Amino acid sequence: MTTSNHKPYTFPEGRIDLPQGDRNAAVKYTDYALGKFIADAQRKPWFKNTVFLIVADHCASSAGKWEINIDKHHIPAIIYNLPREPQNIDRLISQIDLMPTLFGYLNWNYNTSLYGKDINRMKAGEERAFIGNYRTLGMLKENLFTQIDDRKRVKQFNVSRKEKSLSETKSQSKEFVLETIANYQTASERFRNGKMMAD
């Protein structure tokens, strides 16, 4: 990784036609660098047996100490060079779902304790996204975002994806509150106790 969506937005000279220090230039350089990486890889003997997974962590201006802006966590993900016809998937998933989905495309059989799911095997109602920042965590499911933080506050918001807005609910879905807490709590405990490590 030779550049970032963080200041000072610097990158190697002579690659693109925009000046150092500008976010748009850093984005353009990233586009150039990814293109060059794939072009260089295509000349390697291992290219035909290699799958590339490219994903972001969040969008620009997503930082917040407590609040979470859901729209700033709508990110692209690309699984490139699979031996299949290209397809565009527009469903609600998380980064943790990418590896199980890739394993599914490769028809791998495996035992796992991953929290992610193969998107092509998700049943109706199972789609959800986990979103977090420095002190706040949450789960987006259906059109309801459940938010928890390190002050043990719980809030729920109705999400309008068309208008990209949140409105706090007057009454909470206890089922979604418990599901949100359970996912984060069990993952934290399993990580702390070394249960996430491969055998």
113-127 residue pLDDT tens: 888 999 999 988 899
CB burial readout 82-117, b (16+ within 10 A) else e? eeeeeeeeeebbbbebbebbebeeeeeeeeeeebbb
Q: Is the pLDDT higher at 24 or at 3?
A: 24
67-107 residue pLDDT tens: 777 777 788 899 999 988 999 988 899 999 999 999 999 99
Query: Which residue(s) pair with 55 in the sheet?
Result: 77
Mean pLDDT of all residues in 133-140: 89
Mean pLDDT of all residues in 161-184: 87
Q: Is the pLDDT higher at 88 or at 195?
A: 88
pLDDT band, very low/low/confident/very high, at 109 (cuts 50, 70, 90): confident
- Look at residues 140, 143, 83, 93 and name the one whose alpha carbon lies nearest to residue 119: 93
H or E element, residue 177? helix 174-192
Show the domains of the chain with their CATH numbers.
91-192 (3.30.1120)
Locate 24 and state its tokens: 């748009």
Rounded to an integer, what distance in angstroms lies between the CA atom of residue 39 and that of residue 52?
Answer: 12
pTM of the model: 0.84
Rounded to an integer, what distance in angstroms lies between the CA atom of residue 173 and that of residue 180?
Answer: 11
Q: Residue 83: what pLDDT?
A: 87
44-72 residue pLDDT tens: 999 999 999 998 877 666 665 557 777 77
